[in-house]
Amino acid sequence: MPKPAADRKVIEIQGLYKTEPKVYPRTVSGLFTSWRWFFVWLTQAVFFGLCWLPWNGRQAVLFDLDARRFYIFDLVLWPQDTIYLAVLLVLSALALFLFTTVAGRLWCGYACPQTVYTEMFLWMEKVIEGERPQRIKLDAAPWSARKLRIKVAKHGAWIAFSLWTGITFVGYFTPIRHLIGEVATFSLSGWESFWVLFYGAATYGNAGFLREQMCKYICPYARFQFVMFDPDTLIITYDSQRGDPRGSRSKQPDPRAQGLGDCVDCGICVQVCPTGIDIRNGLQNECIGCAACIDACDQVMDKVGYDRGLIRYSTENAMVQKLGRKEIWRRVLRPRTLVYTAIFLGVTAATAWSLATRQPVRLDVLRDRSALAREAEDGAVENTFQLQISNASEKPKTFAIRVAGIDGIHLEKPADIDIPPAASALVTVQAKADAGSAPSGPNLIAFTVEDRNDAGVAVTEKAKFWMP
Contacts to ligand SF4 by CB under 6 A:
236, 238, 243, 263-269, 272-275, 277, 279-280, 287-293, 296-297, 300, 310-311
End-to-end CA gap in the chain: 107
What minimum distance in Å lies between the beta carbon of 248 and ligand SF4? 10
Nearer to ligand SF4, 211 or 280 (CB): 280
| Residue 106 or 363 with smaller CB distance to ligand SF4 | 106
Instruction: Work out how close the CB of 301 gets to ligand SF4 at its nearest, in angstroms, rounded to a whole number.
Output: 7
State the minimum distance, in angstroms, from the CB of residue 112 to ligand SF4: 12
Cβ-based nearer residue to ligand SF4, 267 or 405: 267
Q: How far is the CB of 245 from ligand SF4 (least distance, A)?
A: 11
Minimum distance, C-beta of residue 130 to ligand SF4, in the bound complex (Å): 21
> Whose Cβ is closer to ligand SF4: residue 280's or residue 397's?
280
Q: Which residues of 365-381 are buried (b: 16+ CB within 10 A; e: fewer)?
A: bebeeeebbeeeeeebb
Report the nearest approach of ligand SF4 to the CB of residue 307 (Å). 12
In single-letter form, the type of residue at position 14 comes to Q
CA atoms of 433 and 404, how far apart (whole Å)? 10
**Residues 132, 27: contact at Cβ < 8 Å?**
yes
Nearer to ligand SF4, 226 or 353 (CB): 226
CB of 276 to ligand SF4, least distance (A): 8
Q: Which is nearer to ligand SF4, 200 or 243 (CB)?
A: 243
User: Minimum distance between the CB of residue 226 and ligand SF4, rounded to whole angstroms?
Assistant: 14
Nearer to ligand SF4 by Cβ, of 94 and 293: the residue is 293
**Between 23 and 427, whose beta carbon lies closer to ligand SF4?**
23
